[in-house]
Amino acid sequence: MNNDLTYNTFLFCSNRRFVLSVVESNDLKIIYEEKEFLDSQFKSLELKKLDIFLNKNIYRVEKKIDSFIKDIYLILEIEDFNTIQISIKNNNNENIFSSSSLAYSLNEAKELCFKASNDEKIIHMIIDNYQIDKKNYSKLPKNIKCNNFSLDLRFICLPNLLVKDLEKIMRKYQISIKQILNNRYIESLFKDNNKNLYQKAKEVTEGFNENEVKLQKKTNENKGFFERFFNYFS
């Protein structure tokens, strides 16, 4: 099989349907798509039906594209998501608002989120408002001095148990989950209906919403979680 990564694979899941799609990496044109509609009375995801759907279709897709699927973007439209809102206020002592002061507050908010719901995984972390010396900003201002600032943040979370169950299913097919996305959050960002779901999802993963904090796994060098915002100040 050809293992050159010239495509992205997306799996959309709701209690009504499953859609497995392979799209070209460059223009995100759909090159293969398989759908299954469900007659379900449950609000939560039916994992057994998802496993059966993947068992029927993974090999078929890999044969069609002549390549193994190694990872997948998982787009979910389910009721299991939980939204947590947190506000953080800190002093800045009339210094320039910097990446370090922002990162400290973001990390503080993240820790508060974990304490509020330690059995959930953060899927999206969004800054809804910046208040700098009592003035509100929808976007992060540059080169501004302030005495104090506050952040209003929104965390979209998913139960850890569900995430682990999904990862377990994917491992059966030697597939890792590249990223989980909330479909309602994706759709809330776009007014352009000419884009398909996968174009929207890919743009979200690449930083379409500049107020979304991209969470990074810690490395041995102890790099921070908030690389996107560090780049902003560079």
Domains in the chain: boundaries: 7-79+160-208, 82-158+213-233
Max avg pLDDT among 130-134, 173-177, 216-220:
173-177
Q: How far is CA 43 from the centre of its chain?
A: 21
Q: Tell me what pLDDT residue 226 has.
A: 52
Position 1 confidence tier, pLDDT thresholds 50, 70, 90? very low
Return the H-helix or E-strand segment holding 43. none
The mean pLDDT of the chain is 87
Cβ contacts of 117 within 8 Å, gap of 6 or more: 82, 84, 157
Instruction: Count CA atoms closer than 13 A to 145's CA, side-chain side.
Output: 3
Tell me the percentage of the chain whose pLDDT exceeds 70.
89
pTM of the model: 0.88
Place of tokens 């890999």: 62
Q: Tell me what pLDDT residue 209 has.
A: 94
Q: What is the CATH code of the structural domain delimited by 82-158+213-233? A: 3.30.1490.110
Q: Mapping DSSP to helix (H, G, I), strand (E, B) and coil, where does residue 126 land?
A: strand
Q: Which of 3.30.230.30, 3.40.190.10, 2.60.40.10, 3.30.420.40 would CATH assign to domain 7-79+160-208?
A: 3.30.420.40
Which of 4 and 113 is assigned the larger pLDDT?
A: 113
186-234 tens-digit pLDDT:
999 998 778 889 999 999 999 999 999 987 665 444 444 455 554 444 3
Ordered alpha helix ranges (H), the chain: 47-65, 99-116, 160-171, 183-188, 197-205, 227-233
How far is the CA of 108 from the CAs of 81, 111, 131, in angstroms?
Answer: 22, 5, 17
Separation of alpha carbons 120 and 82, rounded Å: 9
